[in-house]
Amino acid sequence: MVSKSFQDNITFIFMFVFMFFAIAYAEVYDITKFGAKPNGEISKALKDAWAAACAARKPSELLIPNGKFYLTVFEFKGPCKAPIEVKIDGTLIGPEDPLKIPKGVQWITFSYITDLTLSGSGTVDGVGAAQAWASNDPRVTIAKGSPLQYNLSFNFIKNSLITGITSKDSKNFHVNVMTCMNVTFDNFNVVAPEESPNTDGIHIGRSKNITIKNSKLGTGDDCISIVDGCENLHIEGVQCGPGHGISVGSLGRKTGEKPVVGVYVKNCSFSSTMNGVRIKTWPDSQPGEVVEMHFEDLSMDKVDNPVIIDQDYCPHIQCNQEKPSKVKVHNVFIKNVKGSSKSREVVKLKCSKANNGCQNVHIEDINLTYDGPSGPAVQTCSNVKPVYSGKIVPPGCA
C-alpha cells in the first residue's frame, strides 16, 4: 500500500519537474519562421512573430537569429500575456534616411511590457551617418527639437532586464528610458564616435529603480543623462568614454519638472571624457530639486571636469545669467574620487545663489591631479560650503 505522503511527494515532484520545463523551455518564435530573410526588410515578419509571442500564455522568446536584417521602424508593444524575452543575436540595421521613420516615432520602441528580457549578442545599428549628425547640431535642436530618432526607446517598461546588446551609431540618443520601473541594464554597450552630436548613451526620465551596471558606454554626448522625475537610480561598474560623462540634468528649463531623488554612481571609470560626474541646471530657471546624490569610488583618466556642479549651464543660447537657477541641489556625497584632470579646477562646484546655495555637500577622500600649464590643481566653490573628511588633494575650498 502506497502512503498518502508518498503520493503527495510524487505529485509534488511531478509538478516541480513540469514547472521547471515550462520555465526552462520558453516557446521560441524565430522571425525566420515568420518570413524574415537575411539581408531583407523584416517589419512584417517581426510584427507577426511579436503578435504570436506576446499573446502566448506561457513564457516565450522572440528570436532574431544571427545575420543582418533591415528594419525601417518597429514598436514592440505590450502588454503581453506572460514573461517575454526578445533575443537579438543578429544585427538590426536602421534606414539610412531618417525621414523613413515617421516624425515623433523612434526607431525601435518597447512599450507597456512587464517582465521583458532583451538579450542576445546582437547589435542595433542606427546608421547614424555623418549627414544625420550634421542635422543634429545642438544649436539647432535645442531650439527646435531634433528630427532624428533615438535608437531604442523604453516606455512604460516594468521589472525587466536588458543585457548583451550593443547600440551603435544612433542618429540621436541611443537609448531613451521614460516612465519605466525596475529595469536593469547589465552589460549593455553603446558605441559611437566622440564627434557625433547629441548621441547620449542612456537618457532616463520619469523612471524609478533603474540600474545600469557592467556596461561600456562610449559616445559623442553624455554617457548617461538623468532628467526630471527620476528616483533611485543605480549606476555601477560603468566605463564611460569617449563622451560627456554621467550627468544629472539639465534641469530647470521646463515648467512642472519633478525632483531627481537618489542617484548612486559607484565604481565607475571615465576616460578622456568632458566631464566625470556632473549636475547641471539652467540659470533664470523654473523651480526644481536634486537631492541624494552619491558619487563614490570613481576613477578619472584625463577628464576635463572630473566633478562639477554647474548651475549656470547655458550652452548655445542666450540666458539671463543675472537671475539664478531655482533648482535646489542638496544632500550631495562625493567620496573616493581619484585620477587625472585635464583642467586645473578638478572639483568645481558652481552653485546657484538661490535657495541658500547647495546645501549639505560632503566630500571625502579626493586625489585628483593636474599637470598642465595653468598652475596647480584647485577645487573651486561658489554658494556652497562643503564638509570635508579624509584625505583631500588638492585642498578643498577654504
Ligand X SMILES: *[C@@H]1O[C@H](CO)[C@@H](O)[C@H](O)[C@H]1NC(C)=O
Tell me: does residue 199 bind ligand X (CB under 6 A): no
| Per-residue burial over 139-148, b = 16 or more CB atoms within 10 Å of its CB, e = otherwise | eebeeeebbb
Cβ atoms of 120 and 99 within 8 Å: the answer is no
Which span (1-9, 81-89, 151-159, 374-382) binds ligand X, by CB under 6 A? 151-159
User: What secondary structure letter does DSSP report for 334?
Assistant: E
Which listed residue (167, 196, 207, 285) binds ligand X by CB under 6 A? 167
Beta-bridge partner residues of 208:
181, 231
**284 counts as catalytic:** no
Piece in contact with ligand X (CB under 6 A), picked from 31-39, 48-56, 152-160, 247-255:
152-160
Q: Interface with ligand X includes 146 (CB under 6 A)?
A: no
| Residue 261 sits in the site that holds ligand X (CB under 6 A) | no
Least spacing, CB of residue 395 vs ligand X, in Å? 11
d(CA 323, CA 304): 27
Q: Does 336 bind ligand X (CB under 6 A)?
A: no
Q: Kindly state the cell numbers that stand for 267.
A: 565604481
- Determine which residue in the list 65, 94, 357, 386 makes contact with ligand X, applying CB under 6 A: 94
C-alpha cell at 55: 499573446
**CB nearer to ligand X: pick between 194 and 284:** 194
Binding-site member from 52, 127, 140, 142 for ligand X (CB under 6 A): 127
C-beta of 148: minimal distance to ligand X in Å? 7
Q: How far is the CB of 382 from ligand X (least distance, A)?
A: 26
Instruction: Name the minimum Å distance from CB 322 to ligand X.
Output: 39
Interface with ligand X, residue 181, by CB under 6 A: yes
According to the binding rule CB under 6 A, does residue 348 interact with ligand X? no
Among 90, 128, 229, 306, contact with ligand X (rule: CB under 6 A) = 128
159 close to 204: Cβ distance less than 8 angstroms: no
Q: CA separation (Å) from 349 to 90, 295, 307?
A: 45, 14, 8
Stretch that binds ligand X, among 2-10, 34-42, 169-177, 380-388 (CB under 6 A): 169-177
Q: Does 82 bind ligand X (CB under 6 A)?
A: no
Nearer to ligand X, 184 or 343 (CB): 184
Alpha carbon of 326 to those of 286, 310, 355, 395: distances in Å? Answer: 6, 13, 7, 29
Does 239 participate in binding ligand X (rule CB under 6 A)? yes
The minimum distance between CB 299 and ligand X, in angstroms, equals 9
Whether 149 and 98 have beta carbons less than 8 Å apart is answered as yes
**CA–CA dist 31, 38 (Å, integer):** 10
CA atoms of 51 and 12, how far apart (whole Å): 34
The number of beta carbons lying within 10 Å of the beta carbon of residue 205 is 18
Q: Which of 155, 160, 247, 281 is close enough to bind ligand X by CB under 6 A? A: 160
Catalytic residue list contains 221:
yes
Q: Which residue stretches of the chain are H helix? A: 4-24, 43-55, 130-134, 138-144
Closer by beta carbon to ligand X, 184 or else 359? 184
Residue 182 as a binder of ligand X (CB under 6 A): the answer is yes
Distance CA 339, CA 343 (A): 12
Closest CB 102 distance from ligand X, rounded Å? 13
Q: Which helix (H) or strand (E) holds 313?
A: none
Binding test (CB under 6 A) with ligand X, winner from 68, 100, 353, 391: 391
The DSSP bridge partners found for residue 210 are: 183, 233
CA–CA gap between residue 108 and residue 47 (Å, rounded): 12
The three cell numbers locating residue 287: 523651480
Count, residues near ligand X per rule CB under 6 A: 32
Which residues have a catalytic role annotated?
221, 244
Q: What residues line the site for ligand X (CB under 6 A)? A: 94, 107, 124-128, 149, 151-152, 159-161, 167-171, 174, 181-182, 184, 209, 232, 237, 239, 267, 269, 367, 369, 391, 393
